[in-house]
Structures are given as structure tokens and as C-alpha cells.
Structure 1
């Protein structure tokens, strides 16, 4: 009892976590319900106060049903809903969901969708494995689906009816049951990723038909396509044309591809859409104002289809005038002229009729005069400006007086102050202007004197003005020096140079002599040339300062000293024996060791018989000569009597180095069919022995329908297997083989002879 309660509680916790509500943001009351993981029991999605958000792939377990109620929105974020059980979608909204059918032909899933809107993402896209499904898509709207929808052998009659597809990929269909694609509208469909463009493809139709009827096709590119074993009936469709040749050009079948047997019947065709097929329903955005409305003229708002780019417009009514409460000045009054004001529209600035009012003239209001001196200060005018209107001006000439207010010096100019006076309306006004207009008298310099510091690191240049001895120019600079060193036999010198920034001071040079220092020979010998095995060397006493030499003496050559050496051969490179001088590296007596390149087993494949297999190992060098066991050892694998792979490891030594592996394999024995018994839509296949009697673990039965090349397979650990769900009254070919998995490898026995049987 406790174990059952724990399992129930675990399932309840898992379902609760699948759609825990969270608020979208701090400023929003819309809730989001997170979906993820495995849904393991019947579940209803009915929250309409927010939306369901998929945060990772969702899987609907076999035996479980998910029902999505009207008004529900699911945001997929391009995650998958993998349907192993059943999903029933009614009047819901799917955005960027990847809806995938899973399971096998013996245990199909179910997908039902009605009156829903599906934008972005994928629908029944190819997964690379079987996707048997009970399928019913009715009265839905699909926009911007990526890739194409791959309908792979539906489990029963499939219906795709009354749907609207815009900017979606193709429907690619293969079936053993009837499929009805009826009363759908296909508009502005996109090409596949490889560039192919068509709307409906049938690549396999066994014992059934694909009915494509009463649909509306608006694309003028390829619409219907047959491949492989496909066949299709496509009468009574609307093609947006009445030209039979134009319709025929949109069909790919046996008439255009001679490798195909079937052709598509498309006549009669409709000259207008079937009333039960949906009209074109664009997915418009919220629109933008493309022409702004004015007070008197209407505006325009444009909506764009998010799928195909088509647009539509709607009129925005004129706004009408919005009159301001306050007056607006239309003309400012001047000193001599009246102005005006009126009531204006705040939008277009139009004037309201009958609201214009006069504004009285202002009269002049003069400012204080502004004086304008000539550049030499000897003349000037005075101008006063009306404060109400700066265009109105009154100008007079002035009376000028002057006075020297600063005398000139050697370096500075003198100054004159000019005074201008004028009278307006009985009141006197004045202004001054100071001009530096008396030239400086300039310096009269004496000769330059240069003084060096005691250590010659500095030099000072000086000159004095004869007009005023307080005026002095002086500059002290650091010197640079260039020394020619004294040698053992030759005297040296240092030249000091002073460079001044003031161009009136000239560059000065001063030279100081350095006496020669004499040789200092070392008591130690210096090797001038090393003696070698074949040549004499030289040594001498060197001067520590100038490298002069004394007592030059010869060193006798000391001859070669050889030692034996070996470079070991490998499986890819030759080796060698040799004698090498340990002093100079000279090599003599070179003898090659051929590489060990011819290594193998006498047999690499055996058929299992339960006996131990021991192939012969041979190890030869590149010349074909047998390599002595003194130069290698090997490890022999244990067992060697069961199915699998066995490896010898050869380890080299002596004149050789490295390791190498050589392997052989034992495969299961060839199986044989003892009997095949036909049953109702089934057969019972019996092998002569169980798999273990062939050295294997599994028996694999292969069968195919006569006239086809598609083999199907069943596996058992016994020697008997029942194969079900076959076509009644049909012939099948059957063969068997055994196999065994060892580690990551699978070892197959040979196929038995094929036998034919007729199913009841």
C-alpha cells in the first residue's frame, strides 16, 4: 500500500511542476504556465488568463491524453511536443511549437487539431524514424511553418480538411491508408531548404489513395508532385487560373518524369474557389500610420502581412481645428506702426475668422550712445539705438582729444589715450580708447662672454644692454661629450660641446687629452683554436684590455675515439648498427637493420564450430627474412572458441622496438529454415536450431512482400518467431541469420536460402 501511494504522489508532483504559474513581469498581471518534461497521465490545459510557455521538450506518454481547451495560448520557444500518446487541440493558439509524432506502427499516437491558429515552428517534421499517427487536422490556420510536414504511414484514414496554409512548407505524404486533403487553401507557400518548391507530394501509396480535392492553390510554381511509389487523385481543385496547360505545368508525375508509372488526374477543375474552402486570411501586424491626418484632410494607416508581406490600408478621419484660448501675435508693433494678434489653431496654425485685434505703435526708446573709434583713435562716431526696434539708429561725429599715458622702453611700446565727446538732447556723453602706438626704442647689446664650469659639465653665455645695464641676457646649458678612449698604445681625448637655445649664442667646443695606458698581459693561457681529432690547436697569453697576444704556442691533435651504437628498427622504419667517435661524432662501419613490416596471422576469419582457433603468427622483416624470437615476444588471447574478436599483441626487443596487434574473428554459423507456416495475415518461421547452436544469441528473420525491395526484420532469442500484420493472400520471401553482440561490435552469420510463402 505504501509503495502504491508513493507512485501516485510522484505522478501528482510531476504534473504540478509541468505548468506551475509565474507572473510575466513585475508590471504585468498576465500569468505564464511553464510546460516541460514528461506528461504521464491525462491532462487538460484550460488556463485562458495567461499563456503556457514551453521551457524544454515535452513528451506525452503512451496511454496519456493532453486536451487543450478553446482560448489557450502555447508559446513553444521552438521546443518540441513529442506525442507518444494523444493530443487534442481545440480553438487554441500555438506559437513557435515543434509538434512531433512518435511511436511505431504497432502502437501509433493520435494528433487532432480543430479551429486553431498555428504560427511559426514546425508541424510533423521529419525526424528520421517512424511516426505512425492517427491524424485529423480540420479548420485551422497555419502561418510561417518551417521546413515541410512529413506524414509517414498514418495508422488509419487521415483528414487534412478546411485548413488555411500561408508561407508554409510542403505536405510530404506516404501511406497504406486513404488520406484526404480537401477544402484547404494554400497561399504564398515557401520553398524547401534545398530550393525545391511544391505544395503536396506523394512518395508512397500502397493499397490506398491520396484524395486532393476542392482545395484552392494560389501559387503559380509546382503544386503537386509524385515520387517513387506515389499516386494521387486531384480533381475539382481551384488553381487561380482557367488554363489547363498552366495547371499541367504545375504538376510533376509520369507525364514529366518517365521513371514514374502513375499520373495525376486533375480535370475537371474549379473556375472559382469552393465555398467551403477558407478565404485568404492574412496575418496582419498592428499597422503604422503612413499618412498623418490633418485638421482638414484624412490620414492613412497601413497594415502588413507578417507572412507574405502583402499590405492593406484604412482611412484615419481628419482631426478638425483645435483653437487656442490665448491670442497669438501675428505682427509685432513697431515704434511707428501698429501690430495685430488673433486666435490660432494649435495643430495647423490656421487663424480663426473674426478674431484679429490691432496692437498700438510703441514709439522710440533710445539707448545710451555707442562710440566707434577709427583704428588710429583720431576720429570717432557716437550712435544711439532704439530699444523697441534696433533698426532705428541716430549717429553723430564726436570731438577728439589725446594724451601720452605711458612712455616707451627698450622692450615695451608707449601708450596714447584718446577721448571722444558728443551731446544728445542736451546731455554730454564721452568714451576713451587706449592705443599702444609709440614704438619701443630697442636694445643695444654688447659682446657675448662664455664661461665653462670646472668639470666642463656646464657653459654660461652672457650679454648686457648698453642702453640699460639692468637689461641682461644669459643662458647656462649642460654640455654633451664625446670621448675617444686611450688604448694600450694610443692617447685618447674628450670633446665637450655646449648648444644654446638663444640663436644669438654660438655653439662652443672644448677638447681635453687622455694619455695611452700600456698593455696588461694575463698569466693564464687563452685557447685561440681548439685541437680536434685530426687538426692541431693554438694557445697564447692575451692583453686584458686590447686582446693583443704573446707566447703563441701549438696544441697537438688527439685522434678519434670510437664506441659502438645502435638505432632500433620499428614496424615503419629501418634501424642500424654503427661505430661513432665520442668526441667529433664521425660514424663508420654502418650496417642496416630492416624494419619489421611483414607481420600477420595465417587466418583472420573463422566460422563458429565450438573449437579453439589457433592461427599461425609470422613475424618477418621488410626483406622477407624471419625475425628471431630473441627480438620479440607475444601474448596469445584466451578462449578463442566463441564468437568475437581475438587479438595477439607482439612486443619487440633486442634490435627492434615497439608493439603491434594482429586480430582474427569468429562469426556465427550459417542458419537454415526448418519450416514456414502461413496463418491469417501472419507467418510462423522456425529455424532448424536455436541461436546458441550456431554460436549466437539472437535469430534475425527478414521478410518482404513479393514485388518490392523493402525488407523488414524481426528478432528473437529462440528458433521460432510469429510475424503479424501482413497482407492477406500475398506472397512473402523469408530468410534468417543469427548474430551476437560482443562489446560494441555485432557479429552476423550468413543468410540462409530464401523461401517463399503465401499468407492466408
Structure 2
């Protein structure tokens, strides 16, 4: 059995290496990589890939060569293959499908039984058809020709109406350029019919394509055809013609389908009525009867339409030929009632020629006729007032007049209660007197009321008072009555105060910009002193610059800038800037075979030199070499070629190279 298995393994591996496992019409890239489903870690790989093409001599399904089988075996499955319980898998990398060729999925082939799997563990078995990838074109957006009306794949509305019954769809493959065309008949229906809303007719065209590349199966076309016939049967609220005296109002009709209001179709409502005539006093030119004294009577006409009444009349014209006139209804005006001038009428026809006017009431007129009716009695300060009589009608009026003189005040001994002076230890109280007849209080006449008040001292004076100081006690003083000399109140001592009387002070230490000063005050009473701190003065800053230069070949310049107080010499805003300038070196050249040697004098304090050279005097496309020595030979040059050379020195400062200027350009020609 083991010998048989080795034989089968050899056949299978040989078949894989030669491409016999490949499906017909498929291209494989086969890795010579074994995967054991029992022990995946034991896979063997030699790192080679073998490409087999269907155009080579690959046996077909009908070939007598079987994958992983022994044709001479008398055991196995019904199809002649060996029953495999331990697959030895080979990975077959797939290829994508093209427009004309099928592709294949990446899969695994058992080296023993030839079965196909999608997983490396040999669990998901598939058939040859299941690993195929069908050929497929990648189509561009199609165009559709609807009998002359052409749209692109994403359009849904035709630009014009089709003139036939077929639609032709076209597209091309993005990959191979192959053209695909399909022509089908299409059906037509109406999406929207024209109605009184004036929306146009919209038609829809639809078809079904066999090829899946064509998916736009329905488009529409707006014909623009409309129907302007409305069904004007209902009344709107808009009045076309207002009602007149004899005719009803006319209303615009509206469409019962869309509510559009007509601009010319009208009708009257059955329940409406005409306005009727309005006959007031507007005369017509139709005379009813001739008048007398020059006036005439005419029929009136309607205020709205001018129709003439057949019953109502009005007198028109002034009576200019009246022979006899009289004034009636006249009345004289009185003090309180208006009068009337009277109406002028024709004594013959009774016509009113001129209407009278009202005469205003004259009103009462008064001068000095005093009645016996008193308006206000006389007082201490005002005379009596009497009503006056009307000069015309002798009625008592509202006008008044003062008659006589005021009664005057009567100041005797009536106490008003208003105090002029309170009772004191030497005199009784003094009050102002009041008028015997009114509430007026005298401004000068007084009376004494009651007796003296021994406790009410009128004039108090202070004696023996003394102000306390920071050194001595004080005394509030004693209060004495100046009128009777009695001690009213004894004073008290005032303790020594803590309030000194300071002088203007004296500066005992002047303030500076670094130290505070001091000012001393002295009490003028007790000689005590106190000190006050004087704040520091402001610095007087002035800008300063210090420059220090050191070195010969490498010149270091240190520049310090700061502000310094001119009083105390304090410093602020210190800034230091260092700059390095390297002396430009000189160079001497010596030609060599396809080389030259550049030599320069040694400069102290530097780290090295750079040499640049070029075949052009302007040093374009120059090359640079770096050396720490003063001499450097540049080799591998072109023989008998003139080179232009410059040298510069450098020093590393804070991790960066600082260079001198390039030396003057010198040239040299290499030797053969």
C-alpha cells in the first residue's frame, strides 16, 4: 500500500508540474507547495512557480491520464479515484476573468485524489464549474435612440417626441471596445392628460431589454399640448358689473373643476334685486308746472341713473319779480334771550324770499347801580360786597361791588398762644395778642402770661473751660446764668488726648532708586516724633552696548546690549549675540596625473577645509571635497583638462558649520 501511495504521489506531483491538473481553457500559476491536511506545518516549498497555458498539450477531461489515481488499481471509488482520507493540497492561484476569457478562483488541489477545495484545510470541496469566473465586459453608460429622440443612460425625459415605434440601445466595453446594440419595440401610454388646469399632456414610453447592460426601460415626453376649456358654471365673489337702479349685479363665473375665474363669462344671481331709484331734490329738465313771481316747478331725477320721477317735484329758480314783500316772525333780543330778524316773504305768493337770522342775547350791562342784596359782609380787612342791578332790566346780576370800608382789627388782651419769649428765671412768659373778631395775630402787641421760671435760665455762659492736649488734661467748663449769676452745671475733666499736633515734617533720609527714604514729623506740643517711609525713586534707564572681539584666524565677536540705571548702575534686559567670522584662506595648486593637489596655509582654531572645483570658471556644477588637512589631492579627473578651484575654511559652532568666504578662483590643468 505504501509503495502504491508513493507511486500515486509521484504521478500527481508530475501532473501538477506539467499542468495536467489544469482545467480545460484555463491559465494556472501553480506554486510547488504541498500542504498536508494532517500536519500543515510539514508543507514543502521549493519557491518555484510554474505557469501552464491551455494552449499547451494539456489533457482534457476525456484523457486517459487521471490526476492522483493509478489506472491499474483495483480499489478506490466508483470513478476510479483513490479514496483519500489525508489530502495533500497544492495551492493554485486564480486569475481574473476578462471580456472574452473566463477566470478562475484561487483554490487547492489534492495531490492524491485530485479533488478541488477553496480552503487550505480541505474541508470546502468544490467542482470545476464552481471555481470558474464567468467572462464579463465593463460597459460604458448606454445611449438610447427612441426613434430619433436620443437620451443617455441616466436621462428619463425625451427631448422630442419619437417618430417611430422602436428604441435602439447602444454601449461599448471600457476594456476591449466591443460594441453592444439591441433594438426593441416600445409601448406608449399617457401619464397626464390635458385638462382645465392647463397642464400639458405627458406621454410615457417603456420597453424591456434582454441584455442586462441596458436598464433604462421607461422615459417620458412633455408634449406641451394643453386644453383651455373650463367649465364656468359657479359664481365667484368677483363682481363684473355692479347692480344699478333697474338691473341686478353681474358676477364673474368660475370653473367648477379648478376654481379658475373667467374674465368674460358672467351671470346674475336669482336672489339679488336691483337697487331701485333714489329721488331726493335733484331737479330734472322736465317742468311740472309754471310758478308765480318767476319760480318754476320741475320733476326730480334719480341721484344714480338720472331717471325722471313722474310724481315728485321741486321748485327751481329765485323769485325775482315779487311785487309786495313783508317781514314776519321778527323778535327783539333781551338781556337773557336771543331775538330774530324775521323772514322776508312774498305778500302775494307766500314764497320765502329771505330767511331771517338769530339776534344774540344782549347780556346784562352793569355800572354802579347797587342792589340791597349783600354778597359778602365786611371783615376786619375787607369791606362789604353787594350785587349790582342790570342797567337795562334792573334784574340782580352776578356782578358785585365793594361798598364802605373794612371793620379793622381789635387787639386788646386776647392771648393768641403764640410765644414771643418763654418765662425765664427773671421774667414771665410773653405772648402775642389775637384780634377779638378774627384769627389774626398781632405782630407787635404782647401781654405777659404767668410768672417767672426759676429753672429756665435764658442766657448761659461758659467759664473755666480748657482744651485737652497730648500733654495736659482739659476741662469742659462751668455753665453760669448771665441773668441771675447762678451756677447751672459744673464741668468735667477731659483726658489727655492721643492726637499730636504734627509739624510739616523733615526728610531725614533721601530715597534712591535702590533704597526707600525716611521723613520725620515732630509734635509741636509734646515733642514726640514719628517716621514715614518714602518710596524708592524710579530707575533712570539708558541703553548700553558692549562689543568684544577675539581671535585672529577665527574672529569671535560678542555683542551685549542692555539697559543700565545712571544712578545705581543696575542692569536689565541683557542680551548677548555671538558671531563668528573665519579668515578666507589662500590656496596654491599643483597639477598631477589626472589630478591636482590643493594646498593652503594652516589657520588656527578651525575644524577643516572645503575644496570645490569645476570645469567652468563661474563654478557651475562644481564638486566639493572636505578635508581636515591643509593639503588635499583630488583624483580621477580628466587628463589635460583645465579645472577651476576654490577653498574655504569652516568651524563647527553649536553643532553647525560656520564657513569662511571662498578664496579667489584659481585654475590648473591636469597632466596626461
TM-score by length of 2: 0.23
- Bigger Rg, structure 1 or 2: 2
TM-score by length of 1: 0.21
